Amino acid sequence: MTIATIAPAYTGLEIFWFLIIAVLWSGYFVLEGFDFGVGILLPVVGKTELDRRVMINTIGPVWDGNEVWLLVAGGATFAAFPDWYATLFSGFYLPLFLILAALIFRGVAFEFRAKRVMPQWKLAWDHAIFWGSLLPSILWGVAFANILRGTPIGPNGHYLGSFFNLLNIYSLLGGITTLLLFMLHGSVFLTLKTTGEIRERAQGVAKILAPAATVALLAFLAWTYANAHHAHDTGIVPPFVPILAIAAVAGVGWLLREKLEGWAFVANAVALVGLVATIFLNLYPRVMVSSISPIYNLTIGNAASAPYTLKVMTIVALIFTPLVLVYQGWSYWVFRARVRRPGDPVEAVVDVTTPDSPATEATVAGAVVSGPTDDDGGAP
Amino acid sequence: MTLLLSRWQFGITTVFHFIFVPLTIGLALLLAIMQTAAYRSRGDAAKQAKWEQMTIFWRRLFLINFAIGVVTGIVQEFQFGMNWSEYSRYVGSVFGAPLAVEALLAFFLESTFLGIWMFGKGRVSARVHLASIWLVSIGTMLSAYFILAANAWMQHPVGYKIDGNRAIMTNFWAVMTNSTLISSFLHVFTAALVTAAMLMLGISAWHLRRTQKAGEKPHPVFSASAKLALIVGVVAVVATMFFGDNQARLMEKQQPMKMAAAEAVYNTQDGASFSLLTIGNLSGDPIFQIRIPHALSVLSDNSWDGSVQGINQIQAAETAKYGKGSYVPVLWVTYWTFRIMVGCGILMFLGLAWGMVLLYRRKLDTSKWFLRLAVPALLLPFLANASGWIFTEMGRQPWVVYGLLKTAQGVSPIGTGYVVASLVGFTAIYTILAVIDFGLMARYAKLDPDSVDEHGQEKSTGGDGSADDASADLGSDSEHHDDRTPALIY
């Protein structure tokens, strides 16, 4: 009844690489998610130029490393599933162009902002950071929703639709969901990494965003789940994954009120991983769904690279991924301190004061380092 | 039309990216050397201060340049899928692997340790801080190696078999040790060092000439930078020429058409002369031409009367092998880009050798014409890099993977309108970035190192007269109560 049962055209290696790519996107959402969030909140939380500088400094040393998760996801898809890579990026041409343009301006903005002292100069780059963070935050959600919903893919993996096939209510809901989750992620990150007024403002924003993100995620995952059975090939859609994701983001608001900000960050990371996991579990064993006919679906079988390539890549990944996780985790540890404005008292940090105040900082570093996606078990 | 526009987009993106990348690779290594010198001269305050000031001065230019290299690199990672989907399907098993490995091994290393290097001073030990710039430098080299592995496979496919309508990797080691790869990596890496050295020399020369005209003593930062640039530059330029020559010999065997097209040699000749320049028609009926007898045979075959294959003979051979069609690239492009590349290389060699003589005679700081000419000469490596890259890619046409897949077969089946939009968009973005980058580079290159504080920020007296930046030193609450974050970069 399904393609998969007629011809089990895939092996453990292909399943492994499907999993790796899911992990890479989870890592990307968890890590770049908060630096996108900080970028979007720049005009909201940052009242003055100095505020915005403090905010940018919280992500300064790490955003570039976070973005590499995207590049690795892209490269891994190319090597492991060339047809997925080819169909996805040629089919979703315009959104990808917009994402690339946004990431270009955003990336140079971080570097160039402080190079001149003129306020207009800084303001222009603040705009670049805002839009450069906002657009991809929406478009990644739109893209993944469309991958799952199905797009007009015909023979040979050729995308037969237009840009407008990508605009539909389900995918826009996906975009709003990732946007709100990333903004929430960024605001919780800011409460962990700043002091004084900026921190208070970030807390305030987070408390507003938490319920909004919960509603969006609930709606998106409910819709996804409702569609899952009729759209799915093999029926592996364990309901606990989306439920866990929704529960995690629903808990963020409560954790914030309890001043358990480190845990709030972890909870939001769990929600993001749960979102990616739900999407990938629904996709499996497909990688892109054709809305024309299931026979045109790209699957981990028909989109995969040669087994030899997958073996080589597996060896390379097993050797180097732990190493990368260790040093990237270590860099978060190095920059675990809060960033504050010059005038603000050092004691501001004591505000964090919660039952587990000293642990909070450690939790932050630990959360980012050993978030559910990168399992190196905490900072070295 | 989609094909033509996609080719333009790829070419513009790659050439634009390649303005910044060689400089990043070269300057990262030079900065690692400078910072090592500073680290090793602890105990000698004056010496240490000089090396530290040098590191800070060049580091700002490095970071401005690095940013654009990174963001244009993101486009590189995705444009194969966007515009060359059929190519991606065909080569993914072989070509995708080095790309993925590049991201995993090189990009993480570069970006993470660049973060440590930019912001970590005072948070990590001086030793770890020094190690981080070396790791950035190693990251840039690894990145070059892996991306050239992918490109070398397009020039000279190895370690694969054809399975149905795909190329399938059969030997990863063969792909990673492709003779074309090793030869082109050495050529590109040494050219990157020449690029960084010429930039350093040009900017230092501008400052030395400025102090000379004002009757001031030369600034030690620029005397030392000019010296370092000359020594590295002269060694690197000789190496670039050597490896380039090596590459040409390989090319004669692996891609004879490209070599013939570089020379516009129409018919196979023994003892072929090297055409220095041609005015008029390249097709053998020139108005004016300068040729060096036997030089081409010597260059490509190492022998006085060696045989050089001609375009007509190769065309006939390739038609027999691959079927009907033209296998000749656009000759005026290959002919002239090759000449511009080699010509710039020779000029740089002469200039750097002249500088070495001045340096040896201790007349570098007082020379007039050398310092004057070194400033515009910093454009030479960029011109050479761009033309070299255009030559190697255009010379492979009509193939995208030599002998396996033609460029026209690789293009994405997407509407022309999309490509028009992205081509216009990317070109506009690159133009804006180029203007901003050159403006910033020029501005920061002209700064007096003494008016810049240790964070590489202008002191309030130096910049636009605003105390805004300097006063706003951001604090941080680390357990060391380190009040001064070197985080002013933003």
Q: What is the pLDDT of residues B182-216, one digit of tens each?
A: 999 999 999 999 999 999 999 999 999 999 888 88
* Paired residues of B461 in beta bridges: none
DSSP letter string, A301-338:
TTT---HHHHHHHHHHHHHHHHHHHHHHHHHHHHT-SE
pLDDT at B178 over 80: yes
Q: In chain B, pLDDT over 90 holds for what percent of residues?
A: 61
Query: Taking CB atoms and an 8 Å limit, are B472 and A50 in contact across chains?
Result: yes
Instruction: Work out the minimum CA distance from A128 to partner chain B, whole angstroms.
Output: 12
Residues 381-400 of chain B with CB under 8 A from chain A are none
What beta strand segments (E) does B409-489 contain?
A: 475-477
Question: Higher confidence at residue A48 or residue B473?
Answer: A48
- Check whether the bond before B22 is cis (ω within 30° of 0): no
Separation between Cα atoms, residue B273 and residue B390, nearest integer Å: 24
Bin A25: left if φ > 0, else alpha if -120 < ψ < 50, else beta: alpha
Give per-residue pLDDT as tens, A54-74. Answer: 999 999 889 998 999 999 999
- Segment B388-396 shows an average pLDDT of 93
At A344 the pLDDT is 67
At B340, the pLDDT band (50, 70, 90 cuts) reads very high
Query: Taking CB atoms and an 8 Å limit, are A114 and B457 in contact across chains?
Result: yes
Q: In chain B, pLDDT over 70 holds for what percent of residues?
A: 87
Separation between Cα atoms, residue A107 and residue A97, nearest integer Å: 15
Q: Is A327 inside a domain boundary?
A: yes
pLDDT at B452 over 70: no
Residues 450-479 of chain B with CB under 8 A from chain A are 457-458, 463-464, 466, 468-469, 471-479
- Check whether the bond before A61 is cis (ω within 30° of 0): no
Range of the domain at A227: 12-369
Query: Taking CB atoms and an 8 Å limit, are B414 and A308 in contact across chains?
Result: no
Instruction: Work out the minimum CA distance from A250 to partner chain B, whole angstroms.
Output: 31
Q: Is A1 inside a domain boundary?
A: no
Q: Is A5 inside a domain boundary?
A: no
Give per-residue pLDDT as tens, B243-260. Answer: 998 888 888 888 888 888
Separation between Cα atoms, residue B236 and residue B375, nearest integer Å: 19
At B457 the pLDDT is 53
Strands A286-288 and B166-169: unpaired
- Residue B56 exposure: Cα atoms within 13 Å on the Cβ side: 22
Stated as kind and residue range, the H or E segment containing A340 is strand A338-340
Query: By C-alpha distance, which of A288, A343, A311, A346 is closest to A143?
Result: A288
Residues 122-151 of chain B with CB under 8 A from chain A are 123-124
Query: By C-alpha distance, which of A331, A362, A111 is closest to B129?
Result: A331
Q: Is A377 inside a domain boundary?
A: no
pLDDT at A234 over 60: no
At B83 the pLDDT is 94
Radius of gyration in angstroms for the set of CA atoms belonging to chain B, rounded to a whole number? 24
At B468 the pLDDT is 32
Instruction: From residue B359, give the alpha-carbon distance in Å to each of A92, B51, B207, B223, B351.
Output: 57, 19, 16, 10, 12
Give per-residue pLDDT as tens, A236-295. Answer: 667 788 889 999 999 998 999 888 989 999 999 999 999 999 999 888 888 998 888 888
Q: In chain A, pLDDT over 70 holds for what percent of residues?
A: 85
At B490 the pLDDT is 39
Residue of B nearest to A339 (CA): B476
pLDDT at B373 over 90: yes
Separation between Cα atoms, residue B464 and residue A103, nearest integer Å: 30
Query: By C-alpha distance, which of A111, A132, A124 is closest to B68?
Result: A111
- Work out the angle at residue B466's Cα, subtended by the Cα atoms of residues B465 and B471, and round it to the nearest 5 degrees: 130
The ranges assigned to domains in chain B are 2-255+329-452, 264-325, 460-490
At B478 the pLDDT is 34
pLDDT at B465 over 80: no
At A366 the pLDDT is 29
Instruction: Work out the minimum CA distance from A281 to partner chain B, whole angstroms.
Output: 24
At B286 the pLDDT is 62
DSSP letter string, A213-226:
HHHHHHHHHHHHHH
At B366, the pLDDT band (50, 70, 90 cuts) reads confident
- Segment A193-197 shows an average pLDDT of 90
Instruction: Work out the minimum CA distance from B215 to partner chain A, whole angstroms.
Output: 30
Tell me the count of A-B CB pairs closer than 8 A: 276
What beta strand segments (E) does B220-333 contain?
A: 269-270, 274-280, 286-292, 307-308
Separation between Cα atoms, residue A219 and residue B225, nearest integer Å: 61
At B389, the pLDDT band (50, 70, 90 cuts) reads very high
- Based on the structure, what is the number of domains in chain A? 1
pLDDT at B463 over 70: no
DSSP letter string, B59-71:
HHHHHHHHHHHHH
Q: Is A376 inside a domain boundary?
A: no
Give per-residue pLDDT as tens, B87-138. Answer: 999 999 999 999 999 999 999 999 999 999 998 888 899 999 999 999 999 9
Separation between Cα atoms, residue A312 and residue A335, nearest integer Å: 35
Give per-residue pLDDT as tens, B414-444. Answer: 999 999 999 999 999 999 999 999 999 999 9
Q: pTM of this prediction?
A: 0.87
At B307, the pLDDT band (50, 70, 90 cuts) reads confident
Tokens of B380: 């030479």
Q: Terminal CA-to-CA distance of chain B, rounded, Å?
A: 43
At B470, the pLDDT band (50, 70, 90 cuts) reads very low
Residue of A nearest to B60 (CA): A115
Residue B71: its chain A contacts at CB < 8 A? 103-104, 107-108
**Residue among B71, B73, B81 minimizing CB distance to A90:** B81
Query: Taking CB atoms and an 8 Å limit, are B104 and A340 in contact across chains?
Result: no
- The ipTM (two decimal places) reads 0.87
- Segment A144-150 shows an average pLDDT of 91
Of A24-28, B363-367, B444-448, where does the model show the most confidence?
A24-28
Query: By C-alpha distance, which of B176, B147, B116, B132 is closest to B22?
Result: B147
One-letter amino acid of B106:
A
